Amino acid sequence: MGMDMGEMTWNRKLLDYPITWQTAHERKGFDFTQITPEQGKLIQSRFHNWYTADWDFALTTVYFFCAAIGVAALFRWGSWALHRRSAVPRSRASAFDRLVAILSYTTSRVWRFKVFGNYYTPPLAAIIAIGAMFIWVMALMLGPKPFYYPNPVMGHSPPIATRTGWMSIGIMPFMIAFASKTNYVALLTRTSHERLQVFHRWSALLMYMTSLVHTFPFIVRDINEGMMEMNWATDRFYWTGVAALVPQTWLLAMSWGFIRNRYYEFFKKMHFIAASIFMAALFCHVNFFLTSWHYFWATLALYGTVWVYRVVRATLTPGTAIVSVLEDRTLHIRIAVPNSFRWAAGQHVFVRFLFGPLHWASSHPFTIANVPAVGEPNGAGLQQIELVLRARYGITKALEKAAAKGKTCISVFVDGPYGHVGLASDLRRFDRVLFLAGGSGASFTIPLLIDLERNRSSRPADATTRFVVAVREGGAFTWLERQMKPLNDLETIGVAQSTHVTRQKVEEIDPEKGDSKSDDNFGSLQNGRPNIYELVRELCEEPGRVAVVACGPDEFAHDVRSAVAAEQLSLALGRGVASEVFLHVENYSW
């Protein structure tokens, strides 16, 4: 069957010529006499016509994602506007408050599966959204029949392969958009870029799934017809498709959390290299058929504009990082930045450390641990941002080793700030605020606490605040005291503080080492971990609006989310006392 292998000519062309913007949506020169009238009607109908498959499947996928983002934006901005207008506290929750509570419950509730090595699920709202994405993809992929043409004359491409190929192309711009740090979707939905990473990963998985379903029908058909070797040698669509599928497989396989977090520098560099190869191969594979290249231009616009913006902004913010090694493998980093650099409490930056063969090419996210100075800028035209982090592995371990060898001054570029710019101001409307921090997570909660007390006049008259931090050893008091100093300079009212030491008895802390501080700095000192469920329950026992802000390790964040979700569900069911229970959890890693 077919051509002799010795007679085959390898098709090395990457693209067909002449290159055009797109190809026509018209069927020309087709002989309808070789198929039945029913078959002719089928291949010209919607969702079965190869020449309009881009409109039927790729564009329909775009409509779905746009509608989902629109609904999320409407809810996020609508909820914010209604809460801002309704400033008068209510003694009882209204129907609107209960609706917000059930929606808030879905953003708080997570599950932990110990059988998978303490795997933590995304929030319930993300699971619902991902489930909707999966159902949509499956319905669009498996809904239209048939999967294969009953008559080979009807078309070269199996229908299920055609539709899934176009669905992959339709997913692509959104998959890339979810990944960027300066993020259009984040702007539209009033959220921070890191909270969209879960959608980047799952949309990438869905795109991979549709890519596989696009690939295998061709393989199955060609093997059955004895045409596989000939098509591989003569049809460039086969080898360009494989050239795209191999790096796509690598991207999925190497993006698991334990690999990404443990080998971040290696992961990030290889991720960009593999993604570049994948996009180039896919660009050649689709060969400007119909409107396929339009989706690449859209992707380039979505990612390219924000990438250029980030590069320019980071280049304009050079600095020198001064690294200090504290107890308990804690690093304190000070970076001088121009006075034009503006940030709000609770935001973070990406820092590119210009040392070592691996680290200069990667930027790393760190929370800004201090608040902007009050008053006129200093005459030098510079101000400082401070970072507090624990040395674990990757860049933090490298910084610790460099500082131990005497290299404490490192040139950097600072990209940012990023994060929820309105969080600090949003907290001012609540009657009671509870800050919970685990270890260096206090570098996130302390600036928010200081900002809240600086703007005491913008809060309800009887507003109260509670700050709870858990540290391993008394050595952490050194950097905690430094970060808390601006708070001690303020006249605080209604602020309760407590510090929990988990791996050392409070009674054993040695005053000679300077790690035993007065209650004025840290409130009550207690042994063991804080009872998070009890703290949250007490917060919600009285009428009013309450907020919980937390940052810490995964287990710590899980307990906070579970405790708050229980109170939100109670409010939604009409059993709660508080009129609103708000939660913001900042994760250690994404």
pLDDT tens-digit readout, 544-561: 999 999 999 889 999 999
pLDDT at residue 515 tops 50 = no
The tens digit of pLDDT for each residue in 174-220 reads 999 999 988 899 999 988 888 999 999 999 999 999 999 999 999 98
CB 254 within 8 A of CB 270: yes
What's the pLDDT at 204?
Answer: 96
Across residues 516-525, what is the average pLDDT?
61
Name 379's Cβ contacts closer than 8 Å, sequence gap at least 6.
none
What's the pLDDT at 486?
Answer: 83
Mean pLDDT computed over every residue of the chain? 86
Name 30's Cβ contacts closer than 8 Å, sequence gap at least 6.
none
Across residues 358-384, what is the average pLDDT?
76
Take residue 489 and report the two structure tokens written for it: 């300079």
Percent of the chain with pLDDT over 90: 46
Percent of the chain with pLDDT over 70: 90
pLDDT at residue 57 tops 90 = yes
pLDDT band at 153 (very low <50, low <70, confident <90, very high): confident
Instruction: Give the integer Cα–Cα distance in Å for 416 and 149.
Output: 53
Q: Where are the beta strands (DSSP E) in 261-329?
A: 318-325
Per-residue CA distances from 54 to 51, 169, 244, 291, 300 (Å): 8, 9, 20, 7, 19
Give the end-to-end CA distance of the chain in Å, rounded to a whole number. Answer: 53
What's the pLDDT at 516?
Answer: 45
More confident residue, 582 or 396: 582
CB 466 within 8 A of CB 434: yes
What is the pairing mode between strands 495-501 and 524-527? parallel
Backbone phi, psi, residue 189, to 5°: -100, 10
Longest dimension (CA), the chain: 97
Instruction: Give the integer Cα–Cα distance in Å for 184 and 145.
Output: 36
CB 295 within 8 A of CB 58: yes
pLDDT at residue 500 tops 50 = yes
More confident residue, 118 or 303: 303
pLDDT band at 514 (very low <50, low <70, confident <90, very high): very low
Global pTM reads: 0.88
pLDDT band at 517 (very low <50, low <70, confident <90, very high): very low
Please tell me which of 56-65, 254-263, 386-395, 460-469 the model is most confident about, judged by mean pLDDT.
56-65
Instruction: Give the integer Cα–Cα distance in Å for 386 and 404.
Output: 20
Instruction: Give the integer Cα–Cα distance in Å for 371 and 449.
Output: 10
DSSP labels, 145-187: S-SS-SSGGG-SS-HHHHHHHHHHHHHHHHHHHHH-SS-HHHH
Amino acid sitting at position 80? W
The tens digit of pLDDT for each residue in 334-352 reads 999 888 888 999 999 999 9
What's the pLDDT at 3?
Answer: 41
Q: Which residue has the tokens 């890693």?
A: 589
CB 240 within 8 A of CB 168: no
pLDDT band at 12 (very low <50, low <70, confident <90, very high): low
Amino acid sitting at position 378? N
pLDDT at residue 332 tops 70 = yes
Instruction: Give the integer Cα–Cα distance in Å for 269 and 70.
Output: 33
The tens digit of pLDDT for each residue in 90-133 reads 567 788 888 889 999 999 999 998 877 778 899 999 999 999 99
